[in-house]
């Protein structure tokens, strides 16, 4: 009986030691970082088609939460100018959201018409989503949480916050609303 108990304790000790050793060898940052990348996302576009981020491999990506009735709404003009100037190496994706002051109350169709008519927007525009709160869209959960994107934690503070991602889909930085699309602060990173 004592011999059986000794063997059982030895096996238990061996299993615990092996488990602890493998835990020490694990990369702690990889355990908390999601394996999902920006290229895994497909989102609905304003026109009902699909925006597949995998198609943007090799280009920088600027993701912007937008609104049609905001003091920053004229940035659509700068975003379109930026897109046209750098479209060989940059894609911009707008995400209309009604999270701040009810400044994007329209339907997808109304938003699409507004953007085209008032600013001539030709860059991809996603269907209206939520960028903060309990109903945050998965792509914005990924953008705003270091545990998912592996780079930074971010808070969407208002309309026209911008995330810049490099040609490999990694987040480079986040810009607040006041950073205009054609500013040196933003264009110097392109």
Question: Active-site positions?
Answer: 70
- Tokens 């709160």, residue located: 133
Structure tokens at 38: 């920006």
CA-based angle 117:119:125, to the nearest 5? 90
Burial class (CB in 10 A: 0-12, 13-18, 19+), 36: middle
- Among residues 26, 27, 56, 24, the alpha carbon closest in space to that of 40 is found at 56
Going through 54-123 in order, the beta strands assigned E by DSSP cover 60-66, 90-96
Beta bridge partners of 126: 45
- Among residues 162, 184, 159, 181, the alpha carbon closest in space to that of 172 is found at 162
């Amino acid at each position: 009986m004592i011999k059986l108990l000794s063997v059982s304790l030895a096996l238990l000790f061996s299993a615990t030691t092996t488990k602890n050793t493998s835990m020490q060898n694990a990369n702690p940052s990889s355990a908390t970082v999601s394996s999902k990348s920006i290229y895994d996302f497909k989102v609905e576009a304003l026109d009902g088609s699909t925006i597949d981020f995998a198609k943007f491999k090799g280009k920088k990506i600027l993701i912007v939460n937008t609104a049609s009735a905001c003091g920053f709404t004229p940035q659509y003009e700068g975003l379109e100018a930026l897109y046209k100037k750098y479209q060989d190496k940059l894609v911009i994706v707008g995400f209309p959201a009604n999270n701040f002051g009810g400044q994007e109350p329209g339907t997808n169709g109304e938003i699409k018409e507004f953007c085209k008519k008032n600013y001539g927007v030709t860059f991809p525009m996603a269907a209206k989503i939520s960028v903060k709160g309990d109903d945050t869209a998965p792509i914005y959960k990924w953008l705003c949480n270091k545990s998912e994107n592996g780079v930074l934690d971010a808070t969407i503070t208002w309309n026209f916050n911008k995330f810049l991602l490099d040609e490999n889909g990694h987040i480079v930085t986040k810009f607040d609303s006041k950073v205009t699309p054609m500013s040196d602060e933003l264009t110097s990173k392109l």
